[in-house]
Amino acid sequence: MVGPLRLMTVHAHPDDESSKGAATCARYAAAGHEVMVVTCTGGERGSILNPAMDRPEVRDDLIEVRRAEMARAAELLGVSHRWLGFVDSGLPEGDPKPPLPEGCFAVGDLSTQAGALVSVVREFRPHVLVTYDENGGYPHPDHIRCHEISVAAFDAAGDPERYPGVGEPWQPLKLYYSHGFSRGRVVAIHQAMERAGLESPYTEWIKNWTEDKRDPGTRVTSRVECADYFPVRDEALKAHATQIDPTSRWFAVPMEVQRQVWPTEDYELVRSLVDSSTPEDDLFAGIHERVSA
């Protein structure tokens, strides 16, 4: 019998793990597999997006507050967690945009940062690694850098000549990009809300979705059914109370609509060292056979 398999997801900031693939992680953890979330930065430059948490004592201790939020989210999802320890770059705004802060994650040395992730990969030994696409899911500089170091670590972790002395080499077998907000998903939920006579939170989003806007849905190869874990996902999101307003759009769609219309979380298989044909419904597809062989 094959023992527990291991899944690692790599994210830029605390709260990203709960808005991108959280129900998948909860499903696999509940099934007895080992799941680790790696967070590249501490979210130090994140804004307080929940008005109820915008208080002096929270602003003055934001780093520790966000660490506590992350610990609670990981507990709810049933996953282990590791900080890589890099500094949040913030999201530059304005025209022209200001330069990124000195010493932040997005302008750090890519090789050094990848080495830090390689160390965690070699320790945890995941069979599957999940991260963002080359656009970062959306073009935040930390999300793009998260993509870059994740791909670099996937390539380097199994090579004994790369990062010698940083743990025993370990090669993950599959690499995925997470794709959450495809046009198909947004439109399907929007139409279901309208049919039910409910106000859709996506009306303006769809109206502003131009023809040339990239649609990650065209890249999806793998859909993991995890609707039973959507409530856990939402509780993990709410654990990030400085970032998530419980009255916001995140929670405007009734759970029964989400379950019926789009019961999956969606991924793109980018690299596979095992035999697995797409479309898939399991991120471990092909790995069970490889591990038991």
pLDDT at residue 1 tops 90? no
pLDDT at residue 22 tops 90? yes
Q: What is the mean pLDDT of the chain?
A: 94
pLDDT at residue 138 tops 90? no
Under CATH, what is the fold of the domain 6-181+216-292? Answer: Rossmann fold (3.40.50)
pLDDT tens, position by position, 139-164: 899 999 999 999 999 999 999 999 99
pLDDT of residue 125: 98
Please tell me which residue, 172 or 93, carries the higher pLDDT value.
Answer: 172
Distance CA 11, CA 129 (A): 11
pLDDT tens, position by position, 100-110: 999 999 999 99
Q: Which residues contact 161 (CB under 8 A, 6 or more apart)?
A: none
Mean pLDDT of 75-86: 98
Q: Are 291 and 127 in contact (CB under 8 A)?
A: yes
Mean pLDDT of 55-65: 94
3-state helix, strand, coil in the chain (%, to 5): 40, 15, 45
Mean pLDDT of 129-137: 95
Percent of the chain at pLDDT > 90 equals 85
